[in-house]
Structure 1
Amino acid sequence: MGSLPTPLAPAAAGDKASGRTEIDTGELGRLFEAQRRHLDHFFDHVDLHQAAAFAQALLDAPGAVFFSGVGKSGIVAHKLSQTLASLGFIRSAFLPPVDALHGDIGALFPGDILVLLSKSGSSDELLGLVPCARAKGAYLISVTSVEGNPLAALCDMSIHLPLQRELCPFNLAPVTSTAIQMVYGDTVVAALMAAKKLTREQYASNHPAGKIGKSLIFKVKDVMKKQEELPTCKEGDMIMDQLTELTSKGCGCLLVVDDNYNLIGTFTDGDLRRTLKANGAAIFNLTVGQMCNSSEQPSDLFFVFSANVDQMHFPNCSKAEYE
């Protein structure tokens, strides 16, 4: 079988001659160092009293919290709204500024908060949204980096994010300002989690999929394999006759059960290799019951899955539980 080309492979000998542009690792290191200085400037000058007031406003919001922005600031606003919503104790969503002026502003109600992210504070889309949102009774908060900007002057609360400069050589591309927007917003969200003493279980209730939810919400019975999916055999069966069953169902073991499907023991593919190495072909004259392990402890069906996370495919062999 052939292999796919590797675009990140080291340059071939003739690449320089062909005009291939290469990254200068020395320059890259200088850029990382410069970005670190720009972020340090933010951390050294951020107003903690402003941050606390912002966090308190979100925590005390009588209604929903909406985030809005355009361009890269809009992407950050969208992410922050989703993170806030995932906590479960504040209703939050992203409000696209252009769509808001074409009907989506109907989602705003008196008592809602609208957080407007903009580096310059002069985006026409946000400036046009402000009077409409105010007419809906929303409380307006600007998050900007340029002092004395028009958006901050129009809002009920203004947050200033100290920005030394963009890492971009032209000081234009938002490669530092968006980083501090994200850091600021995520840190405020973490402060809200601490203030509300959010538990792992509460957080998991909003993350039913993936590792978070499966480890904290799902019970053993929700994730275990069912009887028809299990590689089962009787203790009197010959191991030679059960090799296909051992390898065909993706469990890596045989479950040795009695006539009532009570678990007697297990026999793993690792057991097979070790026994074969020790006894050779003689094992094929042995029964599964003669070789199986019988020290397994069944798991309670209603235990939280995280308590059994190392037993992801642990079966329950009581037939009544499957019916």
Structure 2
Amino acid sequence: MLVGLMQPFREPTPFARNISIQAKSKGIDILYMHPSNINEDDHTTSGMILKGDHWEEIQTHIPNTIDVSAFCLKFRHTIEYLQKHAYLTEDGKNKISKESVQQIMEKDAYLQTYAIPTSRCKTFSVIRGFLFKYGEVVVKPIYSQLGQKIYKISQINKDEFMIGYQKSSQKMNLQETFAYFQNIISKDKFIVQKYIPSRTHLGDPFDCRVHLEKNKNGEWVIAKKYIRIGTGQQVASNVQQEGNMFDVGMFLKLKFENDAPAVDEHINTFALNAANYTENVRKRELVTLGLDIGIDENQNLFLFEANSAPDTSLLQEEVTKLRTDYYTYLLEQTAERAPKAFV
């Protein structure tokens, strides 16, 4: 049995090696692929298969099942070609942005309590309106990675504001704030959101990353969840910005004491419901999802972001086991999915 693993890197990654080893124990060969490997003229592809401890390059038919990284979606022509003949775990259709995820949640009776008031901000007047209504707001790009370009604005009085970015903060008057943010939002697509105070006892921002995968029955399970703390940061809790990670159980016990088990269970329930809802909105099955969840002092949960390509470097053992289990499920479903196979 052959499953393609399409990633945006020319050479196989450590994740590809680990998943190949795990898959072989289940009778599955992993063909490591890059979008440029596809040959549409004869419906074949080049790629690499792990043989022992080294990668061997081969030329073969295009697998009927391909696990596609969301970072490969920029190769639109190739993805459109492949989806006509193979089952892809990701095709980029109906993708949900940081802006639309909040708007979609607000329309659902269950999920609206987890939504954050959000608006596109093409001009500073939109930010000013949110500040007038909420007092503290966050401004961030619709498309960004690793918690970059995220700003917090607090209104001190009618003509004075506090601007927080990474580990620094500064006061500005209205004119300075207007010029500062008008310059920023004119260069990219930004949104403004009500600020959610998800903070540790020491005042550092934190969130709970919940990484979900599909299991051998094609059902969502939580592969791992962990707390990310942006030590010394003004807004973001991303570990790439000198943050720290903590065990969920230990952190919740320290912060919420006797209520920790209830908060933990709430996170689990919400994450699984959100994953199923995301599939319904996108009108397709997904293979992986990363949710960043904030928790305020009243134990309310808020969805900060939903990531279709969550980092696996911190939980490769959990992910490779579940992912290869899911491959067995996908292979069993191949006939029912009925894509036209290459001959």
TM-score tier, shorter chain, comes to: under 0.3
Q: Which of the pair has the greater relative contact order for Cα pairs under 8 Å at 6+ separation?
A: 2
Q: Where is the strand percentage greater, Structure 1 or Structure 2?
A: 2
TM-score of the pair, normalised by structure 1: 0.26
Greater Rg by CA: 1
Q: Where is the helix percentage greater, Structure 1 or Structure 2?
A: 1
